[in-house]
Amino acid sequence: MSTTHYTIGTVAKRYGITTVTLRHYQKIGLLHPSFRGESGYRVYKEEDLSRLHFILNTKNAGFTLEEIKALFFMIDNGEPNKAVKNLIHEKLKSIQEKILHLQKLTILLEDLDNVCHKQMAARDCPIIKRLRVNPSAIS
């Protein structure tokens, strides 16, 4: 039950991040160390690490730091789970849109690739001509 204390560097190493990142998280109000030692050094406790876990995992799940802050707010204020689900649904929607856009780009680029022959000089390449001349070749 010994309440273990960690300095910023120790925490950073353990989680594969940098001390700059931890200070940044503090500055934007995402993760504050439990307290400061006499020297003014940040002191992190287990519960801080748990919170950091959450942050890193959620970030990895594609949420921005701002969104994670919103999540914490919901959790701390006992808001209904519905809000959390909504956030996830919005995320899913925006991801679907991104995927769709990228798939369109893929088709376009493959198309451009096909009309183009290796030996040609770049300035004569149909890719170039097509991009240069036709205003609505690409949407």
6 near 44, Cβ under 8 Å? yes
Q: What is the identity of the amino acid at 70?
A: A
Question: Considering beta carbons, is residue 20 or 95 the nearer one to a copy of itself?
Answer: 95
Q: Quick one: what does residue 61 bind among a copy of itself, DNA, none, with the CB cut-off 5 to 8 Å set by partner type?
A: a copy of itself
Residue 64 contacts DNA per CB under 7 A: yes
| Residues 50 and 11 sit within 8 Å (Cβ to Cβ) | no
Radius of gyration of the chain (CA): 24
> Least CB distance from residue 112 to DNA, whole Å?
18
Q: What angle do CA 62, 65, 71 make, to 5 degrees?
A: 85
Under the binding rule (CB under 8 A), the answer on residue 128 touching a copy of itself is yes
Q: Minimal distance in Å, beta carbon 51 to a copy of itself?
A: 8
Amino acid in the structure at residue 131: L
Residue 52, token pair as written in the block? 């950091």
Residue given tokens 């909504």 in the structure block: 86
- Angle of helix 65-76 versus helix 46-60 axis, rounded to 10: 130
Q: How far is the CB of 11 from a copy of itself (least distance, A)?
A: 14
Chain residues binding a copy of itself by CB under 8 A are 50-51, 53-54, 57-58, 60-62, 71, 74-76, 78-85, 88-89, 91-92, 95-96, 98-99, 102-103, 105-106, 108-110, 112-113, 116-125, 127-128, 131-135, 137-139
Chain residues binding DNA by CB under 7 A are 7-10, 12, 17-21, 23-24, 36-42, 59, 64-66
